[in-house]
Amino acid sequence: MELYKGYEMVIGLEVHIELKTKTKIFCSCPTDFGAEPNTQCCPVCMGYPGTLPVLNRQVAEFAVKAGLATNCTIARYSKQDRKNYFYPDLPKAYQISQFDLPLCEHGWLEIESDTDPSGLKKIGITRIHIEEDAGKLIHDDEKGTLIDCNRCGVPLIEVVSEPDIRSSQEAVNYVQKLRSIALYTGVSDCKMNEGSLRCDVNLSVHKPGEPFGTRTEMKNLNSFTFIAKAIEYEYRRQVDAIEAGEAIVQETRRFAQEENKTYTMRRKEDADDYRYFPDPDLPPIELSEDEIARLRAAIPELPDERRARYEQNYGLSSYDALKLTESKELSDYFESCAKTAKTPKIAANMLITDVFRMMTPEDQRICVSPEHFAALSNLVVDQVINSSTAKKVLKEIWGTDKAPEDVVREQNLAQINDESVLRDVVAAVLAANEKSVNDYKNGKLAAAKSLMGQAMAKTSGKANPVILQKLMDEALNQ
Ligand SMILES: [Zn+2]
């Protein structure tokens, strides 16, 4: 990537991931998203006096799993602290989090890099700690601001990275990697549109070789597009400010999605301002070696391992292997296809191009069974249909899950491989397009493309494209 006016950006990320527990972190209220406001809360998560929190064991287990999957050291002994601040969506006026003794520390993730010459880069993970989420404010034009406490006490992990990231692409790759690990390990559903994964970006700029500059923070970015846009804007804003002789102030800035700009929200507070102290109601979290070993054994094959296996076993390119392993669901789907696909590499290509095109941002489901998708790819491998017909058939079986061979038979879509039939098609097209033929013979090579298109159309797209091309070339160059 190219530096703007010779400055390099330095980014550290704090990613909040909601854990997929059935109940909240300190009480037995459910965590389902989208319930009627204030129907999933109790005196504990609303912070009534006299109530006592009890840690949900699953929260610690999920956090440890996330830590193990990101190469962290797991603390045998950690504790929970109160982070004191007043905010309208936090009825207790403090958040239970972890201060100096987090559950997981000193991890790392490897990502694709556009700044490291090797194309890969390790991003350090400073720590992963557990904490509770706050409620939600709903701003209503007529009624004013309302509060929904359903989210109070939903468990989170906060994953804090080292300031190792040097481009918006690296930031996006890092969050994507973290997301896929959370999905593979099953600790979160990571639904960004429901706020299950939110990202705070800390960014400063400096000239390479000089000390880091003052950083600003942008909070609660909940899509990959916004993360990239906010970074690109803030990077240039800071560089231009420094070049104009202004000082960068440590502050929290809001990214306005509509305008693609960031604005000052509040001057930054430091850790001291929160008056952290150990929560007197919660005992420390102590983990035995056996418990950690048990959790380690329960971690499934992770995306990096799967990716290497796909390259090795199926001959996939590293890009294709990366695309297929980003989501566990998709990767599992591909594995089912690979059982009966004659050439898994072809099935993989069709998945990445044709199936990705059929999915919408709202609906990421694949509406064809893996058996029928594998059968469809086999029809291409066996040259029963060509790849453009396969797209047509895919549309027919999407949602109906009909057998692809039935669709091919019923709609007479089989590929035409018969050379004598295709030779007649070519002859007819050339006879009807004397001008294009002359253009071609006078050096306009593009004319051949249009003739090829017409010949393909004449067979309703069913011609074997390799044979048709060969016959066309022969006819044009005799
Ligand atoms: Zn509750």
pLDDT in tens, 213-261: 999 999 989 899 999 999 999 999 999 999 999 999 999 888 888 888 8
Burial of 336: CB neighbours in 10 Å, binned 0-12, 13-18, 19+: middle
List the CATH number of the domain containing 466: 1.10.10.410
CA–CA gap between residue 358 and residue 159 (Å, rounded): 33
CA–centroid distance, residue 183 to ligand 1 (Å): 26
CB 154 within 8 A of CB 205: no
The per-residue pLDDT for 13 is 98
Q: How far is the CA of 288 from the centre of ligand 1 (A)?
A: 29
Cα–Cα distance, 57 to 55 (Å, whole number): 6
Three-class SS state of 245: coil
Same domain, 214 and 347: no
Centroid of ligand 1 to alpha carbon of 19 (angstroms):
16
Q: What sign for the dihedral angle of Cα 201, 262, 131, 79? A: positive
| Residue numbers of the domain that contains 115 | 8-291
| Within-domain flag for 92 | yes
Is 406 part of a structural domain of the chain?
Answer: no
Query: Alpha helix locations (H) across 28-130?
Result: 57-69
**Spacing, Cα 21 to ligand 1 middle (Å):** 13
Indicate whether 247 belongs to any domain: yes
Give me ligand 1 centre to Cα 43, in Å.
6
Q: Which two tokens stand for residue 109?
A: 């993730």
Q: Tell me the DSSP string of 10-25.
A: EEEEEEEEE---SB-S
Q: Are residues 128 and 237 in the same domain?
A: yes
- 28 CA from centroid of ligand 1 (Å): 6
What average pLDDT does this structure show over 199-215? 95
Residues 23-47 have pLDDT tens digits of 999 999 999 999 999 999 999 999 8
Q: Per the domain annotation, does 414 fall within a domain?
A: no
CA distance 310 to 21: 31
Report which secondary-structure segment, H or E, holds 427: helix 419-432
Distance CA 455, CA 353 (A): 25
Ligand 1 being an ion, which residues bring their Cβ within 5 A of it? 27, 29, 42, 44-45
Query: How many angstroms separate the alpha carbon of residue 151 from the centre of ligand 1?
Result: 9
Residue 400 lies in a domain: no
At residue 268 the predicted structure's pLDDT band, cuts being 50, 70 and 90, is low
- State whether 338 and 234 are in the same domain: no
Residues 63, 197, single domain; the answer is yes
What phi and psi, each to the nearest 5 degrees, are found at residue 92? -75, -20
The answer to whether residues 270 and 320 belong to one domain is no
Distance 16 CA to ligand 1 centre (A): 20
CA of 82 to the centre of ligand 1 (A): 18
| Distance in Å, CA 295 to ligand 1 centroid | 27
56 CA to centre of ligand 1 in angstroms: 12
- Is 64 in the same domain as 30? yes
Please indicate, yes or no, if residue 298 is contained in any of the structural domains: no
Same domain, 250 and 329: no
In this prediction the pTM is 0.81
Task: Give the number of domains in the chain.
Answer: 3
pLDDT digits (tens, 9 = 90+) for 283-340: 999 999 999 999 999 999 999 999 999 999 999 998 899 889 988 888 999 999 999 9
Rounded Cα–Cα distance for residues 387 and 367 (Å): 19
Q: How far is the CA of 218 from the centre of ligand 1 (A)?
A: 30
Q: Residue 171: inside a domain, yes or no?
A: yes
333 to each of 184, 255, 325, 362, 449, how far by Cα in Å? 14, 37, 10, 19, 37
Q: 253: which strand partners? A: 218, 264
Look at residues 270, 291, 312 and tell me which one is the last residue of a structural domain. Answer: 291
* Residue 299 dihedral angles phi and psi, to the nearest 5°: -80, 125
Q: How far is the CA of 48 from the centre of ligand 1 (A)?
A: 10
* Amino acid identity for residue 231 in this structure: I
CA of 145 to the centre of ligand 1 (A): 22
Indicate whether 245 and 110 sit together in one domain: yes
Boundary of a domain, candidates 347, 374, 392 = 392
Token duo for residue 385? 């249909």
Can you give the pLDDT at residue 263?
84
Q: Extract the tokens encoding 362.
A: 């709202």
Q: How far apart are CA 473 and CA 478, in angstroms?
A: 8
Tokens of 251: 């502050």
Q: Across the strands, what pairs with 158?
A: 16, 129
**CA of residue 30 to ligand 1 center, whole Å:** 8
Task: Kindly state whether residues 112 and 34 are assigned to the same domain.
Answer: yes
Report CA(75)–ligand 1 centroid distance (Å).
28
Query: Do 94 and 170 share a domain, yes or no?
Result: yes
Looking at the fold, whether 82 and 174 belong to one and the same domain comes out as yes
Q: Compute, in angstroms, the gap from residue 265 CA to the centroid of ligand 1.
A: 31
Whether residue 219 is contained in a domain is answered as yes
Domain boundary among 392, 411, 429: 392
- Do 258 and 160 sit in the same domain of this protein? yes
Rounded Cα–Cα distance for residues 298 and 46 (Å): 34
